[in-house]
Amino acid sequence: MRRIYLAFVAIFVSAMAFSQGTVSGTVVDGELGSPLPGASVVLQGTQIGASTDFDGNFSLDVSGSSGTLVVSYIGYVTKTVSFTSLGSVGNISLDPDAQQLEGVVVIGSGLIDLAEKRRTPVAVSTISKSIIQEQAVGNVEVPEIIKTTPSAFVSGQTGFGDSQLFLRGFDQTNVAVLLNGQPVNGMEDGRIFWSNWQGIADVANGVQVQRGLGSSRLAISSVGGTINLVMKSAEREQGGFARFMGANDSYFKGTVSYDSGINEKGWSYSVLLDHWQAHRKWASGTFGSGQTYFFAVGYKPNDTHAFNVLLTGAPQQHGQRWSQSRETIAADPRFNQHWGFNDGELESERTNYYHKPVFNFNWDWTLSDKTELATVAYASWGRGGGTGPRGRGRIRTADPDGDGPLIGQIDYAAITAQNTAAGTGGSGDDVYIRRSSVNNHQWYGLVSNLNTELSETLNFSVGTDIRLYTGDHWRQVSDLYGLTAWTGDRPDGADVTETFDPNPWAALFNFADEDQRIDYDYSEDINYQGLFSQIEYADDRFSAFFQGAISNQSYQRNGRFEGNNGLGKSDKLSKFGYNVKSGVAFDMAPEHKIFANVGYYSRQPFLDNIFVDIRNSNEIFDNPEVDNEDITGIEFGYQYRKNNFRANFNFYYTNWDNRVLTATDIDDNGTPDDDSDDIELNIFDRGVNQIHRGAEFDMEYNVPGKFRIYGYLSAGSWEFNGSSNVAVFNDETGELVSSSEGTVRDGVKVPFAPQFTAGLSAKYFVLDDLSFDGNLNFFDRLWFSDGNSVQTENVGYIDSYSLTDLGMTYDFTFGDSRLTLRGNVFNVFDEIRVQQSDRFGFFNTNGITYNVSLKYNF
How does pLDDT run across 153-180, given as a tens digit for each residue? 998 777 888 888 899 999 888 888 888 7
Q: Clarify whether residues 630 and 482 are in a common domain.
A: yes
Greater pLDDT, 367 or 89: 367
Q: Enumerate long-range contacts of 64-71, CB under 8 Å, 24 or more apart.
A: 64/19, 64/20, 65/18, 65/19, 65/21, 67/23, 67/43, 68/43, 68/44, 69/23, 69/25, 69/41, 69/42, 69/43, 69/44, 70/40, 70/41, 70/42, 70/43, 70/44, 71/27, 71/39, 71/40, 71/41
pLDDT at 699: 94
Mean pLDDT of the chain: 85
Confidence of residue 11 (pLDDT cuts 50, 70, 90): very low
To the nearest whole percent, how much of the chain has pLDDT over 70?
Answer: 90
Q: Is pLDDT at 100 greater than 60 in this prediction?
A: no
- pLDDT mean over 387-410: 87
- Average pLDDT of the residues in 466-477: 96
Torsions phi, psi for 416 (to 5 deg): -60, -40
Residue 662 lies inside a defined structural domain of this protein: yes
With 70 as the cut, is the pLDDT of residue 221 above it?
no
Q: Are residues 184 and 53 in the same domain?
A: no
Contacts of residue 76, defined as CB under 8 A and 6 or more positions apart, other chains included, come to 29, 30, 36, 39, 94, 95, 96, 97
Co-location of 71 and 184 in the same domain: no
Reduced to 3 states, what is the DSSP secondary structure of residue 147?
helix
> Do the beta carbons of residue 338 and residue 320 sit within 8 Å?
yes
Query: What does the pLDDT average to over 775-788?
Result: 86
Local confidence band at 426 (pLDDT 50, 70, 90 cut-offs) = confident
| pLDDT number for residue 718 | 95
Return the amino acid letter for 274. Answer: D
Grade residue 219 by pLDDT with cuts at 50, 70 and 90. Answer: low
pLDDT of residue 242: 92
In angstroms, the CA 551 to CA 528 distance is 7
Question: Is the pLDDT confidence value at 710 over 90?
Answer: yes
Residue 483 belongs to domain spanning? 135-139+143-857
Separation of alpha carbons 735 and 669, rounded Å: 16
Determine the Cα–Cα distance for residues 65 and 84; give it in Å rounded to an integer.
6
> Torsion over CA of 324, 327, 329 and 331, rounded to 10 degrees?
-140
Asked if pLDDT for residue 236 goes beyond 70, the answer is no
Pair (255, 147) in one structural domain: yes
Confirm whether 86 is domain-assigned.
yes
Please check whether residues 152 and 88 belong to one and the same domain.
Answer: no
Q: Name every residue whose Cβ is closer than 8 Å to that of residue 839 and which is 6 or more positions away in sequence.
A: 663, 664, 665, 785, 787, 788, 789
pLDDT at 153: 93
Strands 20-29 vs 87-94: parallel, antiparallel or unpaired:
parallel
- Asked whether the predicted pLDDT for residue 14 surpasses 60, the reply is no
In a domain, 102, yes or no: no
Check pLDDT > 80 for residue 5: no
194 in any annotated domain: yes
CB 350 within 8 A of CB 284: no
Question: Are the CB atoms for 103 and 96 separated by under 8 Å?
Answer: yes
Three-state DSSP class for 657?
strand
Q: How confident is the model at residue 237 (pLDDT cuts 50, 70, 90)?
A: low
Give the helix/strand (H/E) hosting 7: helix 2-19
Mean pLDDT over 538-544 rounds to 90
Residue 15 pLDDT greater than 80, yes or no: no
Q: 103-136, pLDDT tens digit by residue?
A: 344 445 556 666 666 677 788 887 777 777 777 7
The Cβ of residue 111 has, within 10 Å, a number of other Cβ atoms equal to 22
- By the 10 Å C-beta count (0-12 exposed, 13-18 middle, 19+ buried), 756 is classed as middle
| Poorest-pLDDT segment among 270-274, 404-408, 622-626, 711-715 | 622-626
Q: How many domains does the chain have?
A: 2
What number of residues does the chain have?
858
Q: Are residues 148 and 57 in the same domain?
A: no
Residue 357 lies in a domain: yes
Taking only the tens place, the pLDDT of each residue in 645-685 is 999 999 999 999 998 887 777 776 767 666 666 777 878 88
CATH at residue 36: 2.60.40.10
Q: What is the pLDDT of residue 763?
A: 92
Tell which residue, 313, 354, 355, 291, has the closest CA to residue 179: 313
Confidence of residue 283 (pLDDT cuts 50, 70, 90): very high
Whether 130 maps to a domain, the answer reads no
Residue 107: inside a domain:
no
Residue 54 is predicted with a pLDDT of 64
Residue 722 in contact with residue 747, Cβ under 8 Å? no
Q: Is the pLDDT of residue 99 over 70?
A: no
Note the pLDDT tens digit of each residue in 32-80: 667 777 777 888 877 787 778 767 888 888 877 788 888 877 556 678 8
**Are residues 178 and 65 located together in one domain of the fold?**
no
> What are the tens digits of pLDDT across the range 341-394?
999 899 999 999 999 999 989 898 999 989 999 998 999 999 999 999 999 899
- CATH code for the domain of 808: 2.40.170.20
Q: Are residues 86 and 160 in the same domain?
A: no
The answer as to whether 503 is a domain residue is yes
Query: How many degrees, rounded to 5, is the angle at CA 760 between CA 759 and CA 765?
Result: 155
Give the count of beta carbons closer than 10 Å to the beta carbon of residue 104.
27
Instruction: Kindly state whether residues 288 and 390 are assigned to the same domain.
Output: yes
Higher model confidence: residue 254 or residue 838? 254
Residue 241 forms beta bridges with which residues?
257, 857
Q: Give backbone dihedrals phi and psi of 3, rounded to 5 degrees, phi first.
A: -65, -40
Same domain flag for 781 and 675: yes
Strand partners, 208: 126, 228
pLDDT at position 528: 95
Are both 527 and 390 inside the same structural domain?
A: yes
For residue 699, CA distances in Å to 642, 648, 765 come to 12, 6, 20
Give Rg (Cα) of the chain: 29
Cα dihedral: 502, 504, 505, 509 (round 10): 70
Q: Are residues 731 and 802 in the same domain?
A: yes
DSSP states along 36-99? -TT-EEEETTSS-EEE--TTSEEEEEEESS-EEEEEE-TTB--EEEEESSSEEEEEEEEPBPTT
Helix (H) or strand (E) holding 13: helix 2-19
Letter string b/e over residues 113-129, b meaning 16 or more CB atoms within 10 A of that residue's CB? bbbbbbbbbbbbbbbbb
CA 325 to chain CA centroid, Å, is 29
